[in-house]
Every structure is written in structure tokens, then in C-alpha cells.
Amino acid sequence: AGAAPESTVPAAQPQPPTATRRRRVGLLGGTFDPIHYGHLRLAESLAAIFNFDELLFIPTYSPPHKDFDRVTSAYHRYAMTVLATLQMDIARVSMVEIFAPERPYTADTVATLRRTYGDETHLFFMMGADSFASLPKWERYQTLLDSCHLIVMTRPKYEVGDLATLAGQYGAGRVIDLRGGRASQRAVTSNLGETGMHVFLTDLFALDVSATDIRQAVSEGRSIARFVPPLVERYIHVYGLYSNGYHA
Ligand code: ATP
């Protein structure tokens, strides 16, 4: 056997150390009763613009063994969320709320996740315009605003509000308006260079769908194929969710 042929590939040059990019994680909390294309499009479009390394879906707490008539068991909501997101490479479903001993406030959940991901990770809590409108009523919402970035997505039938009012409410430097074609990866990155947490306003898509409409459609025997992924639709039918008020 002869000597190994000389490599034609040039030897790797030592690279200058690059500034390590801080990890970006998008958080989407929701009842997900059931998860639908509104949630999925929201998460996907924000993941593309904000360049998330991970997308964490966080089904909210509900007592696992009671209240079936109010909110579907956390087990069913967790299962549907997993089925809906399994094909998305960066998506994970968190059990942080559903296994909490009692209903946590969002500020507590984000504090828990902050401990898990560390101070160097950019955490972005995503929400629709309806949730954002009620934010000032959330327990310790100032703590929440100081512990992660917020991304607000428009939602049909709900107002996000004008920039001047929001800047007055949340601080002029904090609110970044990416609506009206201003959303780009560059715009996001340039704002992340500064210190502090921001509130990003976005209008990347508009999908007029809610979980309430879907539960109603199932109870009336109408198709929900337009609103949820096929596996979620199948799960709802196989487990008899929303059809007669009984969720085994
Ligand atoms: P329900 O009809 O039961 O109140 P929902 O459809 O609003 O449910 P949630 O699980 O409460 O769903 O929503 C989780 C998050 O997703 C919230 O921040 C909500 O604003 C956002 N969201 C839900 N649907 C949409 C949508 N179509 N467009 C934009 N944001 C949405």
C-alpha cells in the first residue's frame, strides 16, 4: 500500500475568536385547549424573524383531576401540543406549569425558566394582542417585563395600541415597533445589542381563529380541519374532547 494521497483540501486556518452569539429562546404560554394554527403560525413567524434557537410551548396549569368542564385536563392539552409541534425542529413542550404544585403566575414561570437557561440566554415571551391588553392586570407584570423580552403579535379583532401610548406606559426606550414592514432579523439584532428588556410589537400575520371557536365547532359537529393540524383533529375525535362536555 502506498502513502496516503496528499490532501488537496487546504489546511484549516486558525479562526479569530468570534463573539459567541447569545442563545435565543421563544416562549409561548397558552391554555392550548386546543392548540391551533393561530398559535403555530405565531410561533413559526416569530421564530424566523427573531432567529430562535428554541421554541418552548408552555401549556398552562390546570388541576389534572378536576375542573374538566372548565378547562380540559392538562394531560390532553399537553398531548395535543406535542402532536402539533413534533415536526418543528426547534420546538419543545414544557411541563413547567402543568406539574407546578399550584397555578403559577407567568412571572414565576419565567423566573423558573430563567434559572434553567441562565442569564446569558435571551428569553422572549410571545403573546397575542388580547393577552397584551390585559398585561397590566397580571400579577407582578413589572417583574415579568424585567426578566424577559416581550413580543406582541397582532390578532384580528384586538387592538395593540399606538406607539405613543405604549411608550408612555412601558417606557419610551423599551417599546420597539416592528409593525408595518419594519420586522427583520437585522432590526431585531440591532435592538438586542443594547441592555435591558424590550417590548417588540409585530404584525407578521393575521389568523382569525380561537380555541373557543374550535370547541364550539366540535360541539356542533362542524369540521375543524382548517384550524388545527390533522393529528390534533384526530386526537380530539379519538378522545371525544369538546363533543359532550365529558373528557375521559
Ligand atoms: P381561548 O379561545 O380558549 O381563549 P385562544 O385561542 O386565545 O384560547 P390561548 O391558549 O389562550 O388561545 O392563547 C395563547 C396565546 O396565543 C395568547 O397569548 C394568545 O393571545 C395567542 N393567540 C391565540 N390565537 C391567536 C391568533 N389567532 N393570533 C394571534 N395570537 C393568538
Helix, strand, coil shares, percent, the chain, to 5: 35, 15, 50
Residue identifier of the C-alpha nearest atom 7 of ligand 1: 210
Best CA proximity match to 95, nearest among 114, 116, 74: 74
Distance CA 161, CA 168 (A): 11
At residue 187, the pLDDT reads: 92
Q: Which spans in the chain are helix H?
A: 37-50, 74-85, 106-117, 129-134, 141-147, 163-170, 185-192, 211-219, 230-238
Beta bridge partners of 58: 29
Report whether pLDDT(23) > 70: yes
CA of 8 to the centre of ligand 1 (A): 56
CA of 183 to the centre of ligand 1 (A): 21
CA of 87 to the centre of ligand 1 (A): 21
Tell me: the pLDDT tens digits for 72-94? 889 999 999 999 999 999 999 99
Q: At what angle do helices 185-192 and 37-50 cross, to 10 degrees?
A: 70
Q: What ipTM does the predicted assembly reach?
A: 0.97
